[in-house]
Copies of this chain bind each other. A is one copy, B any other.
Amino acid sequence: MKLTCPITGPKPYHHGDLRRALLDAASRVLEREGPNALSLRAVAREAGVSPAAPYHHFKDKSELMLAISEEGFDQLYDFMRQSADPDGPPMERVAAIGVAYVEFAKAHPSIYRVMYDCSRDLEALPDKAHKAEDGAYSLLKKAMIDLGVVSSDQEVDLELACIAAWCAAHGLAEMVGFRQFDSLKAKMGGEKAFLAGVLSHLGTFGQARNRG
């Protein structure tokens, strides 16, 4: 019979906790050299182990990426929660959540990219990553209910509103984080004004679709 930790799995033997060390190493490689340089071997090198060592903790390269993605969503969730005062007006809360999302993507572009690359691979993440995402998603959902725009008993409508907000935030993250729009930002006097400006026009598309 073996003593195993219910969280991290079997107790580490040689290395202190290689799984943890590998994830940290991956994070470092990502921040330093970008997502294109993220190879299993580079991660192993960074952690100071042999190229094959990671295979005892991750079945695949994609499983490593998935783990990074999960951690990323956890971090995102934390950041959102910190940013949104649960006692403040729901309007501000929804806004704060959205801004936090965009700022996270801008602050950690490489991790954000891994997160979305993973979530696009349909065959992977049956429910695993969705579970990690649920934290952030449920936070938004709650704020949306409190906002009162959609009645909480209309489950479908609520879901749609959350998806809309999420996809707006994702689109914004791509645009604000990875594109420059430097001249436009300068004209508007800063990125915050730019962001607010884009947000104010977000409804136009939807209105056109529904009236048209």
Query: Which residues does A use to contact B, with CB under 8 Å?
Result: 89, 91-96, 98-99, 113, 116, 119-120, 122, 144, 147, 149-150, 156-157, 159-161, 163-172, 174-175, 178-181, 184, 187-188, 194, 196-212
Contacts and interface: CB of A to CB of B under 8 A. Distances in A.
Nearest to A109: B120
A174 B205 contact: no
Task: Report, nearest first, the 8 A-B pairs whose CB atoms are least far apart.
Answer: A203-B203, A171-B171, A167-B171, A164-B201, A91-B212, A202-B206, A199-B206, A92-B212
A181 B203 CA distance: 22
A171 B206 CA distance: 13
A120 B116 contact: no
Contacts of A120: 113, 174, 178
B168 A209 contact: no
A123 to B, nearest CB: 10
Nearest to A179: B119
Contacts of A194: 160
Counting every copy of the chain, the complex holds 2
A73 to B, nearest CB: 14
Contact of A165 (B89, B149, B204): B204
30 contacts: A91-B208, A92-B208, A94-B204, A94-B212, A95-B208, A96-B212, A144-B204, A156-B184, A156-B187, A156-B188, A160-B198, A160-B200, A161-B204, A163-B184, A163-B201, A164-B201, A165-B205, A167-B171, A168-B171, A168-B206, A169-B171, A171-B172, A171-B174, A199-B210, A200-B209, A200-B210, A201-B206, A202-B205, A202-B206, A203-B206
